[in-house]
Amino acid sequence: MNQLDELRDIIVGDSSEQLAELKERIENVEQRTSDVAEVLSPAIDKEVRSGNPTLAIALQKPVSLGLKRAIRSEPEEYAEILYPVMAPSIRRAIAQAISSMMVTINRTIESATTVQGLSLRYQSLRSGIPYGELALRKSLLYRVEHVYLIHRDTGMAIESVHGDDKNLLDTDAIGAMFSAIQSFVQESFSQDDSGRLTDLKVGDQNVWVAHGPKAMLACVIRGEAPVSLKRELYDTLDAVRTGFGNAIVDFDGDCSAFDGVDELLQPLLLSELKDNLTANSKGSSSKNQSWGPLILGFFCLAMALYFAFQFFINSSKVSTVEHFLRETPGVATTALYWSDGKLVVEGLQDPDAVIPYETLKSYDIHQEDLEFNMIPFRSLELDMELQRFRTELSLPRGVYLSVRNNKIELYGKSPLRWLLENDVRIRQLAADRRLSIAELSPSLVSVSDILISSFPRDILRTLSMSEVVRDERTVLEIGGQMDAVNLALLQAMFAGNRWVMVTASAR
C-alpha cells in the first residue's frame, strides 16, 4: 500500500467498500433492473397523486402504441375482455334505435292515415317541401334552427351551429348582413347608441338576439319559443365571454382561437313538440285515442284496395272477352261495358258464329255474366264460309273443303249422284267466286255403276273413261265406239250432265 492509498484510507475510511458496492450495482444490469422495479411502482403512484401531468404525457404514446400492438396480435382475447363491457351498451343502443324506429313508423302510419296527414301530403305536393319537414313544422311548438355567434365590430360569424344543414347560406355573409341590419335599424330608429335590435319576426320564423359588448348571439327560431329561451341565450353568451373573452377582444378574423365554442352553442338548438303530439308519443292512454283514426284509415285503405282490385278484375274480364270474341269468326264487337253487374257486348254476329263460352268459363267468365246485344250479319270470313259450306253441303266421302291460297276449295272424287243433287248450289257458289271447284270431279266408280246397270258387258268393253279439264273444271269423258242404238241411249243418259261428257261415236 503506497502513501496515497494510506491517505485515502485515512480520509474516506470504509467508504471505499461502499463505493465499490455502488459501482457494482450500477454496472450490473440485472441488479439495476431490480432496483428500478423496486421504486417504479411507488414513483408512479407518487407522480399520479401529485397531479403533475408530465408522466401521463410521457406515457401516452408508448401506452397507446403498446395497446394497438397488443390488440392487433391478440384481438380475440381483447374482444373477450371487452365483451362484458361493450355488449350491454350495444344491446341498449340497438334497443333504443329499434324503439325509436317503431315510434317513427307508428307516427308515419298515424299521420299518413289521418285527415291531417293527407292534408299535409297535399300541401307537400303543392309546395314542394318534403312531407317530413312539413309534418315536423306542424308538430313543433318551436325549434331553434340556427345559432350565430357574431363579432360585433366586424359583423363576422365567429361560430355557427345549425339544426338543419339544408339550404344554408354563407354564414359569414349572414352574420355581416345581420350586423348591417342591426346598424341600419339602430341608426334609423334609435335616439342613441343604446337601442339595439333584439327581435325580428319573418313569417313563422323569429330571430332573437342577445347582445354583449363585443359579440352578439343570434338564433333563428321556427315557431313560438318560450321567453325563458332568451335567458338561456344570455347565459350562453356569458359562458362564451367567460371562456373566450380574450379571444373575442383580440378577434382579427382568425377563428382558430374559438375551438370548442360550438359545444357551448349546441345546447341552444332546442325544440319542443306540441303538447298533444308529445303525449301521443309518450302516454299509453293517448295511444288508444289514435286507434280511431288508425282504424278509419285502415278501413279506407282496405276499401280503396277492394275497389282497385274489383276495377282490375273487371277490366281484365273486359279485355279477355274482347280478345276471344275478336278471335271468333263471325263476331265483330263495337263496345263492351259493365251494366248492372253484367258485361254487355255490342256489335255484329253471324247467326252461324259460335260464342266460345267454354273458353271464357276457364277465365271465370260465365254465360250468365254476359249480355249480347248483337245485330245479325252474314260474315264472309273464310272460317265462317267453310263452316257454313260444311253444314250446307253435307260432304260425301272423298270430297273435301279446305282453304288454299286464301280461297276455299271443294275438291276430290265425288259420287255422281251427290254432284247432280248439289249441282245448282255448287255452280252458284263457284260463279260468286266463293268456292273453287277446279279439282272436283265425279268418281269413276259412281259412273261405272250407272253404266254397268244400263249396258251389257260386251258393250261396256268398247267404252273408255278419262278425266279431262273443260272450262276450268274436271269432267269425266266417256269415249269409244258402239252401235247407234246404244250410243243414243248413252247420250240420253248423260244429256245435260255437266260432270260427264260423252264423246263416244257410232260404229
Partner 1 sequence: MKKKKICMVGDFSVGKTSLTQKFVNNVFSDKYLTTVGVKIDTVEVMDTKLVVWDVAGRDSLSPINASYLVGAAGVILVADGTRKSTVEGLHEIWDTVAGRIGEVPCVVALNKADLDDWNVDEGKINDFKNRGWSVFESSAKDGIAVEALFNALVEKL
255 binding partner 1? (CB under 8 A): yes
Measured between alpha carbons, how far is 436 from 409 in angstroms, rounded to an integer?
Answer: 5
Residues 127-156 that bind partner 1 (CB under 8 A): 151-156
Residue 376: phi and psi, rounded to 5, are -70, 145
Among 181, 257, 332, 401, interactor with partner 1 by CB under 8 A: 181
Residue 184 or 291: the one with the smaller Cβ distance to partner 1 is: 184
451 binding partner 1? (CB under 8 A): no
490 binding partner 1? (CB under 8 A): no
301: which residues sit within 8 A by CB, 6+ positions away? 113
Residue 178 or 411: the one with the smaller Cβ distance to partner 1 is: 178
Q: How far is the CB of 175 from partner 1 (least distance, A)?
A: 8
249 binding partner 1? (CB under 8 A): no
Q: Return the closest-CA partner of residue 383 out of 412, 410, 408.
A: 408
Q: How far is the CB of 189 from partner 1 (least distance, A)?
A: 13
Among 180, 300, 305, 375, interactor with partner 1 by CB under 8 A: 180
Q: How far is the CB of 236 from partner 1 (least distance, A)?
A: 22
Three-class SS of 105-138: HHHHHHHHHCHHHHHHHHHHHHHCCCHHHHHHHH
Using DSSP, state whether 12 is helix, strand or coil: helix
Q: Return the closest-CA partner of residue 171 out of 247, 265, 271.
A: 265
259 binding partner 1? (CB under 8 A): no
252 binding partner 1? (CB under 8 A): yes
Order of strands, sheet of 331-339, starting from the edge strand that comes earlier in the sequence: 331-339, 342-349, 370-376
467 binding partner 1? (CB under 8 A): no
Length of the chain: 507
- Let me know if 179 is exposed, middle or buried by CB neighbors in 10 A (0-12, 13-18, 19+): buried
Among 90, 177, 468, 492, interactor with partner 1 by CB under 8 A: 177
Considering only 167-175, 294-302, 327-335, 499-507, which stretch makes contact with partner 1 by CB under 8 A? 167-175
Among 254, 275, 340, 458, interactor with partner 1 by CB under 8 A: 254
Residue 280 CB-half CA count within 13 A: 16
Among 50, 183, 190, 266, interactor with partner 1 by CB under 8 A: 183
Q: How far is the CB of 220 from partner 1 (least distance, A)?
A: 16
DSSP 453-478: HHS-HHHHTTEEEEEEEETTEEEEEE
The gap from C-alpha 49 to its chain's centroid, in whole angstroms, comes to 64
Q: Strand 157-162 to strand 342-349: parallel, antiparallel, or no bridges (unpaired)?
A: unpaired
Residue 174 or 217: the one with the smaller Cβ distance to partner 1 is: 174
Considering only 198-206, 246-254, 260-268, 464-472, which stretch makes contact with partner 1 by CB under 8 A? 246-254
Measured between alpha carbons, how far is 293 from 298 in angstroms, rounded to an integer?
Answer: 8
Using DSSP, state whether 366 is helix, strand or coil: coil
* Mask for 49-68, x = binds partner 1 (CB under 8 A): --------------------
Residue 254 or 432: the one with the smaller Cβ distance to partner 1 is: 254
Among 122, 184, 291, 312, interactor with partner 1 by CB under 8 A: 184
Residue 469: phi and psi, rounded to 5, are -100, 120
187 binding partner 1? (CB under 8 A): yes
189 binding partner 1? (CB under 8 A): no
250 binding partner 1? (CB under 8 A): no
Using DSSP, state whether 65 is helix, strand or coil: helix
Q: What is the binding site for partner 1 (CB under 8 A)?
A: 151-156, 169-170, 172-174, 176-177, 180-181, 183-184, 186-187, 252-255
